[in-house]
Amino acid sequence: MDKPIIAYDRFDGGRRQVHRIVGTVPPELAAFGLAIIHGSRLLRGGVLEQPPGFRRSFDFYCLSHLVEGEGIYHNADTGQSREFHAGELVMAMPGTAQLYGGNASYYLEDSICFCGRTADALREAGIIADGVFSCGPVRRVGRIIETALEPTLFAQLKAATMLQQLLLELHAENLELSIGGSSAFAALLVELRRTPERWWTVGEMAKECGLSESHFRRAFHAYTGMPPKLYLDRMKLQLAAEMLISTGLTLAQVAARFGYMDPFHFSRRFKALNGMSPDAYRRHYRMR
C-alpha cells in the first residue's frame, strides 16, 4: 500500500524548517481517521545543535520514545527547555516550533509520525499535547513500527489501532503521575456507581479522595474530562437508560433508584441527555 512521505522545506536562510506531508493518505486510512506516515527505530550519534533563532515545526503529529541515551527538548513557542531520559517520550503537535534530540553521545529512539481526524480529536480532548511524557522502558512504539512496516491495508489499520490505544494508555498513565492518587479517583467512580441513589456533594467526593475541593475539581476534570456534578448526572442517567430497557420497573421506580424523587425532573434530564423521553426510549430500544 502506497503511503504519503515526509519532506521538509527551509525558510529564512535555513533558520526555519517545516516538515510537510507529500502525497495523500490512502482513502481507507483517511476514513479510519488515523494514518501512520512514517516510523523508524533509529540510533543517532552526537549532541543536538540548536542554532540561534532556529525554528522547526511539523505539519503532522510525531512522537519519539527515547529507548537509550539522554535527550534535550526545546519548545520555541513557550520557551520551555528540559532534559529527558530513557523511558520518556516527546510528543510534537502540528505547527508547534520545537526541537528535540540527543544530549549525550547517542540517542536511540523509536519514532512515529501520524495524521488524521482521530488524532485531531484526541488533541482537542487534551489526550495528546506537546511535551515530554513517561512511556517506560518497554518498546511499545517499536512494536507499532514493526506492524506498520508491513504494507498491507490490514497491517496499516492494525498499526493505527495500536497507536490509538497507546495514546490513550499514555494519557491515563501520565495523568496518574501528574495528579497522584488516581487510584483514589478510580475507587471513587466505583463507589459512585455502587450508590447510584445518592447525590454526592463535591465536598463529599473531595473528602473521599483526600483533596481540597478546588484541587479535586481540577483533578477530577483532568481525570474524566468533565466537572464532577456533570459526571454524576450523566452516570445516573446512563445507568437509568439501561434499567429502562432491561427491567419492567415503572418510570417512578427507575427515577427513585437514581435519587430522583420527582419523576418529571428525571424525565426532563433524561430527555436532555438522550434526545427522547424515558417512555420513548424504552419503546424504541425494546422493539429492537
Question: Do 120 and 36 sit in the same domain of this protein?
Answer: yes
- 128 and 34 in contact (C-beta within 8 Å)? no
Are 166 and 97 in a shared domain?
yes
What is residue 13's predicted lDDT score, i.e. its pLDDT?
A: 65
CA distance 277 to 267: 6
The CATH number assigned to the domain holding 48 equals 2.60.120.280
Q: How many CB atoms lie within 10 A of CB 263?
A: 17
Q: Are residues 106 and 224 in the same domain?
A: no
Structure-block grid coordinates of residue 105: 553521545
In this predicted structure, what is the pLDDT of residue 23? 83
| Mean pLDDT per 10-residue interval, the chain, length 288 residues | 67 77 88 92 74 81 93 88 92 93 85 95 92 91 93 93 94 73 78 92 90 88 87 93 91 94 93 91 79
Q: Which of 163, 178, 193 is the last residue of a domain?
A: 178
pLDDT of residue 77: 85
Q: Indicate if 115 and 256 belong to the same structural domain.
A: no
Predicted pLDDT at 123 = 94
CA distance 85 to 188: 34
The answer on 283 and 193 residing in a single domain is: yes
What are the φ and ψ backbone dihedral angles of 77, each rounded to 5 degrees? Answer: -70, -35
Q: Are residues 221 and 237 in the same domain?
A: yes
Q: What is the helix (H) or strand (E) element at residue 224, kind and residue range?
A: helix 213-224
CATH classification of the domain holding 240 = 1.10.10.60
The domain in which residue 235 lies consists of 182-287
Domain count, the chain: 2
219 domain residue, yes or no: yes
DSSP 217: H
How far apart are alpha carbons 152 and 81 in whole angstroms?
40
Question: What pLDDT does 222 receive?
Answer: 79
**Are residues 262 and 164 located together in one domain of the fold?**
no
What pLDDT is recorded for position 21? 87
Q: 222, exposed or middle or buried, with CB in 10 Å at 0-12, 13-18, 19+?
A: middle
- What pLDDT shows up at residue 12? 65
Q: Which residue has the cell 484526541?
A: 122
What's CA 199's distance to the chain center, in Å? 29
